[in-house]
Structure 1
Amino acid sequence: MIEYKLNLAGCQCSVVEWNPDGSILVFALHGWLDNLATFESLVEFMPDLRIVAIDFPGHGHSDHIPPGVTYHFVDGIYLIDDLLRHFEQKQINLLGHSMGGAISTLYAASLPDRVKAMVLIESIGPLTAKPEDGVSLLNRSVNQRAALAGKRKPVYTSFDQALTARADVSEVEKNLIKPLVERALVKVEDGYTWRADSRLRITSPVRMSEAHLVEVLSNIEAPVLLIEGEKGFITDSELLQTRKQSIQYLEVVQIPGGHHLHLEQPQTCAAQIQTFFQKIG
């Protein structure tokens, strides 16, 4: 494993490379309030893939954005494009879980000639909103931002207490999510707290409508593999199931597990990922 920092979309981001001798370069993008360690359990089962994983701004070991600035979900497309340019690639392969997959779909739609293939884990586009909900989203975002000034991050007296809390929220066994939690925590005077920027919890003030997103997804030209959990978010959502019809070249595989199925079934999930990228070439 190699770890270093890159300036991506104006932020110093932590980057980790696994399998540096792998023949197929893949950029791996994690989910909201997760970090790049979410892919750690997969890499040993994907030796042919050179995995370049990042901590998004405000997550893991990456820097937080400056005070007074807001995280915008869509800014992730600039980060992906900066990765492409840093590695001097004309086309890239993307692997994204949850939020990372949603950002990948936006990038693949906006610049279809730059994405060779894409694997989505429990992800098929970002959250949307009905037009009539636009004002309430704006209201909620402004009020949440103002309320942050009086909030303090939770502090856990021990690592195990924090690990238990995160495992319960994610509905994943503690031993499976431990690497992610280790990277997510920072030691403070009276215990442990989360590294992640609290501003990440502020609701996005603006979201696409579902009709808008469907048009965006239909512009994806790269072949896409969607890996969904039998008990995950996509399986349980009629709306997300409908989005599948918008993507031109889509394969779907369902694996036992929930939203973090890649932690629960790393070998099975990795086999699907590596085989798909090898097939594309």
Structure 2
Amino acid sequence: MLNVNVEEIQLPLAHITLAAKRYGHADKPVILALHGWLDNADSFVPLAHAFAQQKLFDKFQLVCIDWPGHGLSDHRPGRYPLHWVDYIYDLQAVIHTLSQDTGPIILLGHSLGGIIASAYNACLAENIHKLILIEALAPLSESASKAKDRLRKGLLQQQRFNRQVTRDSSTYSSMDLAVQARHKLTGLAIPWCELITKRNMAITDGQYHWRSDPRLKLDSLNRFSFEQVDALMSTSNTSTLLMVGHDGYKHLTASTEQANKWFSNIEIIQLSGDHHLHMGNAYRVAESIGAFILNRQ
């Protein structure tokens, strides 16, 4: 059982209301956790347990948000295509709301959340005390020559989407079936699928259905070139911890040289685990985070 204060909270931003979970006490310095694509705040439950075991809540609070369209947060209005840059605006609003009482925060991001965190830090590092990236480094990039094809395919995909019902039509007679569907799609271990799926589901007339915004599954209309990413990321002196899984995304384990170019003050750790190593190897991840935030100046 988690021996720490935990509460569901709402963050009413100027443009949208986000759901979040707070672990610990609201007067402590904030570690703000940002989940990955199609996950939600409950992907950090195992890490919160590990934080409690290591008594990190004596000094910090952990705030885990649901991105727009995920978990219990509002969806963005309308049917317009979504873009990853929009999350940076969301993050700016969240940081402004949380930091008014506690000062600069520690930013922790997994996967998509880590991409958004690193891009935000590149622009507004003065708002970040320390940066923790789990299986993420920088915005994705592709050759500029693919820009036309990406935009064309994205617009046609959006056109087809707008002819259909905006809610995902998949329904399930039980939560177990929904969990199995998530497991089949992603290969994520069943216990972690259960955690994430339950917060991403709603029930209507006895049938379970995804509450996630179906637009999340549409391709982005635009992606940066490497030259744009390189210009954005160069160079941060924010104290940074990068954690990659031994069985995680291979391009990250091969990006050590690039990471050291973009971050002048970075520690890189490889741990046992896959892309969701903060769930499957939560204790070691929390142990590494604790050493980083408590001992490293």
Q: Say whether 1:150 aligns with 2:164.
A: yes
TM-score by length of 2: 0.88
SS of residue matched to 1:104: helix
2:11 is matched with 6
Residue 65 of structure 1: SS of its match in structure 2? Answer: coil
**One-letter code of the match for 1:171?**
G
DSSP 3-state at the match of 2:230: helix
Distance 1:194 1:34 in 2: 12
Q: What residue is the counterpart of 1:217 in the other structure? A: 233
- Whether the 8 Å CA contact 1:16–1:54 is kept in 2: the answer is yes
Q: Identify which of 153, 178, 186 aligns with 1:140.
A: 153
Answering whether residue 87 of structure 2 is matched by residue 71 of structure 1, we say no
Q: Structure 1 279/22 Cα, relative in aligned 2: closer, same or farther at 3 Å?
A: farther
> Which residue pairs with 1:195 in the alignment?
211
1:150 aligned partner, one-letter code:
Q
Range 106-115 or range 46-55, more displaced: 46-55
1:247 shift after superposition: 1.9
Q: 1:237 to 1:120 in 2, by over 3 A?
A: closer
Q: Which secondary structure state, in structure 2, belongs to the residue aligned with residue 111 of structure 1? A: helix
Segment drifting more, 259-268 vs 160-169: 160-169
Shift of 1:150: 2.2
1:271 is aligned to 287
- Which residue number in structure 2 is paired with residue 121 of structure 1? 134
Amino acid at match of 1:273: I
Matching residue of 2:3: none
Cα distance change, pair 45–228 in 1 and its aligned pair in 2 (3 A):
same
Is 1:247–2:263 an aligned residue pair?
Answer: yes
Distance 2:177 2:145 in 1: 41
Output the amino acid matched with 1:214: D
Cα distance change of structure 1 residues 241 and 155 upon mapping to structure 2, 3 Å threshold: farther
Q: Which of the numbers 196, 205, 213 marks the counterpart of 2:221? A: 205
Residues 9 and 75 of structure 1, relative CA distance in 2, 3 Å threshold: farther
Q: For 2:148, what is the secondary structure of its paired residue?
A: helix
**Fraction of identical pairs, as percent:** 29
Return closer, same or farther for 1:211/1:217 CA change in 2, 3 Å cut-off.
same
Deviates more, 1:69-78 or 1:18-27: 18-27
CA 9–34 in structure 1, closer or farther in 2 if over 3 Å, else same: farther
**The one of 96, 103, 113 aligned to 1:85:** 96
1:236 Cα deviation (Å)? 4.3
Q: Choose 172-181 or 264-273, whichever is displaced more.
A: 172-181
Please state if 1:34 is matched with 2:39: yes
Report the count of equivalent residues.
280
CA distance in 1, matches of 2:64, 2:9: 11
Q: CA deviation at 1:23?
A: 4.3
Query: What is the aligned counterpart of 2:189 among 162, 168, 173?
Result: 173
Consecutive unaligned residues in structure 2, runs of 5 or more: 1-5
State TM-score, norm by structure 1.
0.92
Aligned to 2:68: 57
In structure 2, the CA distance between the partners of 1:267 and 1:226, relative to structure 1 (3 Å rule), is same
Question: RMSD of the alignment, in Å?
Answer: 2.0
Aligned residues of 2:246 and 2:270 also touching (Cα < 8 A): yes
Aligned partners of 1:205 and 1:68: how far apart in 2?
14
